[in-house]
């Protein structure tokens, strides 16, 4: 059976965001799974605020992988997907061959959040309209076509479908049980040798310099060929072909060592 790669998207997107990347990864010989996180895309969208916690979302991802009877995976993660992916690597290192972290980071309690992220939290909380396609277009260097913007919007036509889009940004910095999960995950990541490759853009004001924290703290990130590429927050729109090539090279190297 082909090696399994799981793509985890962030906020406010869904699996559609990887449409220009995973076909090349499939052609390279990998089995690709691109789920929609709860509250996004075509997954269920619970309306209760308490449903959305890092602890619960992690348990769901972990349960999903178990239900699929997958024993080993590699991860390609972006934004909130990176938060969940880094927790998964920390809590289940025997499950993960490696992870690509793209413009995302598991934030700890000592991390200062940038002003841009604070503005993003205000916007998602109070704006009467959250046009997902427009947001992605604004935060990318590339300009999306009308069809692409509409593609992002399709699962979020009604306001009641945008609960997760509004709640997840407000959860950072984490509170309650999530603090315990994040602190425990970082303790484990500080001693984690699972290969971690960072791919960050040079023009993202939200995650800028996040790669330095990963590279400095996590042993598995040492001596990796980390990438800094030209783009905004949504590199999947700006440099999809380059991202696919980076991913294939990383995954081939990991699985080549195991063949």
What are the catalytic residues?
79, 204, 233
Query: Cβ neighbours of residue 17 under 8 Å, at least 6 residues apart?
Result: 9, 78, 136, 152, 234, 236, 237
Strands (E), the chain: 4-8, 31-33, 73-78, 96-102, 196-201, 227-229
CA-to-CA separations, 37 to 128, 166, 253, in angstroms, rounded:
23, 14, 28
- Tell me the C-alpha distance between 79 and 81, whole Å: 5
As a dihedral over the C-alpha atoms of residue 86, residue 167, residue 79, residue 241, rounded to 10 degrees, the angle is 130
């Amino acid at each position: 059976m082909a090696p399994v790669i799981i793509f985890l998207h962030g906020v406010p997107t869904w699996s559609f965001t990887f449409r220009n990347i995973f076909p090349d990864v499939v052609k390279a010989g990998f089995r690709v799974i691109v789920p929609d996180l709860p509250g996004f895309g075509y997954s269920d969208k619970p309306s209760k605020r308490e449903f959305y916690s890092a602890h619960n979302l992690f348990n769901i991802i972990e349960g999903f992988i178990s239900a699929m009877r997958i024993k080993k995976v590699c991860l390609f993660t972006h934004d909130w997907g990176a938060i969940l992916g880094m927790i998964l690597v920390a809590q289940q290192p025997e499950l993960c061959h490696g992870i690509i972290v793209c413009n995302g980071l598991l934030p700890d309690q000592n991390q200062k959040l940038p002003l841009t992220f604070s503005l993003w939290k205000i916007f998602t909380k109070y704006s009467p309209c959250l046009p997902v396609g427009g947001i992605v277009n604004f935060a990318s260097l590339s300009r999306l076509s009308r069809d692409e913007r509409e593609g992002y919007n399709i699962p979020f036509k009604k306001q009641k479908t945008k609960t997760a889009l509004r709640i997840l940004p407000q959860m950072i910095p984490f509170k309650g049980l999530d603090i315990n999960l994040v602190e425990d995950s970082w303790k484990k990541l500080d001693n984690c040798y699972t290969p971690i490759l960072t791919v960050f853009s040079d023009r993202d004001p939200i995650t800028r310099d996040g790669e330095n924290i990963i590279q400095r703290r996590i042993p598995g990130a040492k001596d990796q060929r980390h990438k800094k590429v030209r783009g905004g927050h949504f590199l999947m729109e700006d440099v999809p072909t380059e991202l696919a090539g980076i991913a294939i090279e990383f995954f081939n190297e990991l699985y080549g060592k195991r063949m």
